[in-house]
Structure 1
Amino acid sequence: MARLAAFIVLLIPGLLAAGGIKFMRDSLYGIVFSPFIQSWIQFIVGLIMFTLGLGFFAGFLLHRDRKKGRVQERFAKKEKP
């Protein structure tokens, strides 16, 4: 059950990042979708979607690896005195 929940948690940001890549690609080819007025606005929205999706995915993996102790010393959480 925990693996299914983790899969769903990672699926949503993955789809967000994939949608961002699609918006950026389509704006480079001049295909503009209806909620966007111009191609550059679509590109910026796609870039934001891609950055948020990838950032969440990377943060999730870093958090998981910190819990299991699989990170290098520079990425390990520092203890507060």
Structure 2
Amino acid sequence: MKIILARFIAILLLVIPGLAATYGFVLMKDALFNYFSAHGDTNLAPDFGWLGFSIGFVLFAAGIVFIGGWTFYRDRKRNYVAPRFKKKRVRPQ
């Protein structure tokens, strides 16, 4: 039972940043869509939603960086990375 709970927590640690990155992407997409769609209306001056776009960019970047770092750490631990990314071994003198 303990291992099932540990694996569930591990999956949640990957799903939550993934959902944050997805929501950030949606916020950025909506800000861009609303800006470009306002160009067709002659009664409105197009205004870009910088706050929504900025929050979306931060969420997207944080989610991608977390998942990428986790994958890199796991691959480095299992020796799946290129030689230049492997840990440097200190030679005894």
Query: Is the TM-score greater than 0.5?
Result: yes
> Residue 52 of structure 1 aligns to which amino acid in structure 2?
A
RMSD: 1.8
- Aligned equivalents of 2:32, 2:61: Cα separation in 1: 18
- Aligned equivalents of 1:64, 1:6: Cα separation in 2: 13
Bigger mean CA deviation after superposition, 69-78 or 47-56: 69-78
> What residue number does 1:45 align with?
55
Q: Deviations over 1:1-26 (max 9, x none)?
A: 24323211100100110010010011
Report the TM-score, using the length of structure 1 for normalisation.
0.80
- Aligned equivalents of 1:80, 1:19: Cα separation in 2: 43
Bigger mean CA deviation after superposition, 55-64 or 38-47: 38-47
Given the alignment of the two structures, is residue 54 of structure 1 paired with residue 64 of structure 2, yes or no?
yes
Q: Which consecutive unaligned segments of at least 5 residues does structure 1 have?
A: 32-37
> What residue number does 1:20 align with?
24
Report the TM-score, using the length of structure 2 for normalisation.
0.71
Given the alignment of the two structures, is residue 29 of structure 1 paired with residue 33 of structure 2, yes or no?
yes
**Identical aligned pairs, as a percentage?**
39
> What residue number does 1:9 align with?
13
- Aligned equivalents of 1:73, 1:46: Cα separation in 2: 35
> What residue number does 2:79 align with?
69
Q: Which consecutive unaligned segments of at least 5 residues does structure 2 have?
A: 36-47
